[in-house]
Amino acid sequence: MLKTYFRLLGFAKPLSRYAIPYFIFAALHAVFNTFNYAMIIPILNAMFTADGGFIFTPIYTLPHIEINEAGFNTILSYIYTMFFGEEFVQMKFLAMLGGVTIAMNFFSNLFRYAAAMTVECLRVNTMCRIRNEMFSHVANMNVGYFSNQRKGDIMSKITQDVTVVRYCITNTLQVAFRDPLLIIGYMTLMIGISWQLSLFAIIFLPIVGLLIGRVVKRLRHPAKRGQERMADLVSVTEESLSGMKIVKGYNATNFIIDKFKKINADMSRLFISMARSQQLASPMSEFLGITAVAVILVFGGSLVEKGLVSGAGFIAFVAAFSQITRPLRSFIDQFANINQGVAAGERIFTLIDAENEVKDKEDAKEFEGLKDSIELRNVEFSYEDDRKIINGVNIKIKRGQTVALVGPSGGGKSTLSELIPRFYDVDSGEVLFDGISVKDYKQESLRAKMSIVSQETVLFNDSIEGNILMGRPTATHDEVVEASKIANAHGFIMESPEGYDTNIGDRGAKLSGGQRQRLSIARAVLKNPEILILDEATSALDTESEKLVQDALTNLLKGRTSVVIAHRLSTIYNADRIYVIDEGRIVEEGTHKELLDKGGLYAHLIEMQSFS
């Protein structure tokens, strides 16, 4: 708990650069704020007593000041003498008091603002730092880490938990400095007016504080549930909006409307119960505050009667006392927030501390390029422990050759291809580049020589050029155009409204299927990789588009070492060697002709394709 807290605080760097100014501003705010309330005494006296209730003696230099009413009067006399000389006029005195009050208030609020801004800057910078750290850590995790159920969890940690944590860190400053300083300020004023009355209040105050704290506490629980329901609502909305075509196609509009309404109604109920406590909080604490004041009033009245406290002093005391509940309440509040923040912090750290399971070795080698061959030797692999997906596969790909993997859906072709760039580590067996295990190379150096064109085209909400540039960010515009021409994409890009600067929408939503494929081919061409892993898309394209993609692929494969998961006959024909994968095993291998003659699974698959 404490460890998490200090680790979170570690993100608030450099803490001293914020904490010291914050302390100064908060202290000045407390001082001026206290004087604000102290001003009540001379003002009341000046207004309601004939002689101004003020024993005026001209003072030109400030003597040693005590913190009590007399000391305060000395300061006021000094200011009066400075402005109006030695002659005391009640109206002039009142005007001066007004002026001083305005000045006090001005400074009090100025420093309050400065303190708040210091905290905000710290808060924003800290959040920024935490989010960056989380995202870069996550982005560096191994591919296997990103299972579907984890995606939502990661997103909620980066967005929501960080929001909760931000109060934890910065409220620390408020708990440590602002509220205590304000409480000290008010206390000083109160003790300065009457210690008996203050003693009474100090005993009485914790009771009030406790009661207010309980009201505040009741608020927290539904607030958290409300947030969770809100997240549900957002996810339903997001799902529905992005799947609108399917929803309409299945006439499922009412289904999703009902689903939405149900969550919405649930949330509304929660918000009403939240509002009940929330709206109760202010009236309740005011009521409790006034009750407290009334009790003080009775006790204080008796002191005034005995002449132990002046009337004006008493009123100032009550004013300060009614104010002190505010920092007190906030003090209690912030502590609760810190607790909540630490809980969120723990969730954040599970993300930051997650271990990358596919790590480079200490002495990992730089991959300089393929000299001889890539080899999969007795490879076995499973995603989860129980089910073997790849079961003893041997494949050899000579430099410059194209190897095709074919087979029924779910056989393990994509999985197999992802073992080559070491997206996952094999359970047993080896993946070798020139006879050296992938585990002995630096992952980055391997992937630098490879392009991976996956089954689902992966595009980002960016311009066309931005998406292609991912292949090689340092490429020039001309090179991008060149790559697009090879990928048969230049034509449609030029027809787009803003050419290469056209935004393609979320995941390339504004493009057709074939266009998306050609963009990802252009990206691979731009990278100009030595080794190519191509997982052909299974989606059927119309003949026109098919032809364009086909040609683009042929261009892409030229002169490279490639592993192609092929669904198109033409790609298969051109391969040097074909492996038929079924249920994680190689069931047949050979050239197109050899396999056809064999009349096995391959011949069967080809026959089915020819019919369609």
Ligand X SMILES: Nc1ncnc2c1ncn2[C@@H]1O[C@H](COP(=O)(O)OP(=O)(O)OP(=O)(O)O)[C@@H](O)[C@H]1O
Q: Which residues bind ligand X (CB under 6 A)?
A: 383, 389, 409-415, 455
Give which of Mg ion, ligand X, none residue 410 binds (C-beta under 5 to 8 Å, depending on kind). ligand X
Q: Give every CB contact of residue 588 below 8 A, 6+ residues apart in sequence.
A: 579, 580, 595, 598, 600, 601, 602
Q: Which stretch binds Mg ion (CB under 5 A): 51-59, 79-87, 277-285, 450-458?
A: 450-458
Number of residues that bind Mg ion (CB under 5 A): 2
Closest approach, Cβ 382 to ligand X, in A, equals: 8
Total number of residues shown for the chain: 612
User: Any contact of residue 414 with Mg ion (CB under 5 A)?
Assistant: yes
In the complex, least distance from residue 454 CB atom to ligand X, rounded to whole angstroms: 10
Task: Give Cα separations from 440 to 217, 360, 365, 430, 434 (angstroms).
Answer: 56, 7, 6, 11, 12
Residue 484 interaction partner, one of ligand X, Mg ion, none, beta carbon < 5-8 Å per kind? none
Closest to ligand X by CB, 151 or 359? 151
Distances (CA, A) of 610 to 539, 569, 606: 17, 9, 6
Residue 560 and residue 399 in contact, taking contact as beta carbons nearer than 8 Å: no
49 binds, among Mg ion, ligand X, none (CB under 5 to 8 A by kind): none
Smallest gap from residue 229 Cβ to Mg ion (A): 38
Which residue, 109 or 414, has its beta carbon nearer to Mg ion?
Answer: 414
Task: List all residues 6 or more positions away from 449 whose beta carbon is below 8 Å from its beta carbon.
Answer: 367, 369, 370, 529, 530, 531
Q: How far apart are CA 157 and CA 343, in angstroms?
A: 12
Edge to edge, what strands does the sheet with 436-437 contain?
Answer: 390-398, 373-381, 428-433, 436-437
**Binding region for Mg ion (CB under 5 A) out of 87-95, 416-424, 447-455, 456-464:** 447-455
Instruction: Pick what 415 binds: Mg ion, ligand X, none; C-beta below 5 to 8 Å, kind-dependent.
Output: ligand X
| Residue number, 419 or 521, with CB nearest to ligand X | 419
What the block records as the tokens of 543 is 């003949």
- Whole-number minimum distance, CB 411 to ligand X, in Å? 4
- Minimum gap (Å) between residue 389 Cβ and Mg ion: 11
Q: Which stretch binds Mg ion (CB under 5 A): 272-280, 308-316, 411-419, 543-551?
A: 411-419
8 Å CB contact between 31 and 189: no
Residue 299 or 383 with smaller CB distance to ligand X: 383
CB of 413 to ligand X, least distance (A): 3
Half-sphere exposure of 106 (CA within 13 A, CB side): 6
With contacts defined by CB under 5 A, name the span among 135-143, 453-461, 503-511, 600-608 that binds Mg ion: 453-461
Q: Would you count residue 445 as binding Mg ion (CB under 5 A)?
A: no
Cβ distance to ligand X smaller for residue 412 or 471:
412
Q: Tell the smallest beta-carbon distance from residue 586 to ligand X (Å).
A: 13
Backbone phi, then psi, for 63, in 5-degree steps? Answer: -80, -170
Nearer to ligand X, 23 or 145 (CB): 145
- Identity of the residue numbered 376: L
Stretch that binds Mg ion, among 124-132, 309-317, 409-417, 435-443 (CB under 5 A): 409-417
Q: Which does 185 bind (CB under 5 to 8 A by kind): Mg ion, ligand X, none?
A: none
Considering the complex, state which of residue 216 and residue 379 has its C-beta at the smaller distance from Mg ion.
379
Min separation Cβ 395 and ligand X, Å = 14
Q: How far is the CB of 569 from ligand X (least distance, A)?
A: 15
90 contact, one of ligand X, Mg ion, none, CB 5-8 Å limit per kind: none
544-583: which residues touch Mg ion (CB under 5 A)? Answer: none
Choose the one of Mg ion, ligand X, none that binds residue 474, judging by a C-beta under 5 to 8 angstroms depending on kind. Answer: none
Cα 421 from Cα 431, distance rounded (Å):
9
Q: Is 454 in the site for Mg ion (CB under 5 A)?
A: no
Q: Which is nearer to Mg ion, 101 or 455 (CB)?
A: 455
Q: What does the block give as tokens for 320?
A: 């300060």
421, interface contact from ligand X, Mg ion, none, CB < 5-8 Å by kind: none
Q: Name which of 98 and 410 has its Cβ closer to ligand X.
A: 410
Q: How far is the CB of 415 from ligand X (least distance, A)?
A: 3
The C-alpha R_g of the chain, in whole angstroms, comes to: 37
- Evaluate whether 306 touches 28 at the Cβ level (below 8 Å): no
- Retrieve residue 387's tokens: 């089910």
Nearer to ligand X, 143 or 436 (CB): 143
Judged by CB under 5 A, the stretch of 100-108, 395-403, 407-415, 509-517 that binds Mg ion is 407-415
**363-392: which residues touch Mg ion (CB under 5 A)?**
none
For residues 178 and 111, the answer to whether their CB atoms sit within 8 Å is: no
Can you give the three-state secondary structure of 292-341, one letter per residue? Answer: HHHHHHHHHHHHHHCCCCCHHHHHHHHHHHHHHHHHHHHHHHHHHHHHHH
Q: How far apart are CA 398 and CA 404, in angstroms?
A: 13
What's the min distance (Å) between Cβ of 407 and Mg ion?
A: 10
Number of other residues whose CB lies within 10 A of the CB of residue 542: 10
Residue 69: CB partners within 8 Å, gap ≥ 6? 41, 192, 193, 310, 313
| Nearest distance in Å: CB 147, ligand X | 6
Q: Which two tokens stand for residue 476?
A: 């020039």
Residue 445 identity (one-letter amino acid): S
- Which has the closest alpha carbon to 514: 534, 543, 494? 543
383 binds, among ligand X, Mg ion, none (CB under 5 to 8 A by kind): ligand X
- Closer to ligand X by Cβ: residue 113 or 383: 383
Least separation in angstroms between residue 276's CB and ligand X is: 46
- The sign of the torsion formed by the CA atoms of 365, 369, 372, 377 equals positive
Binding site for Mg ion (CB under 5 A): 414, 455
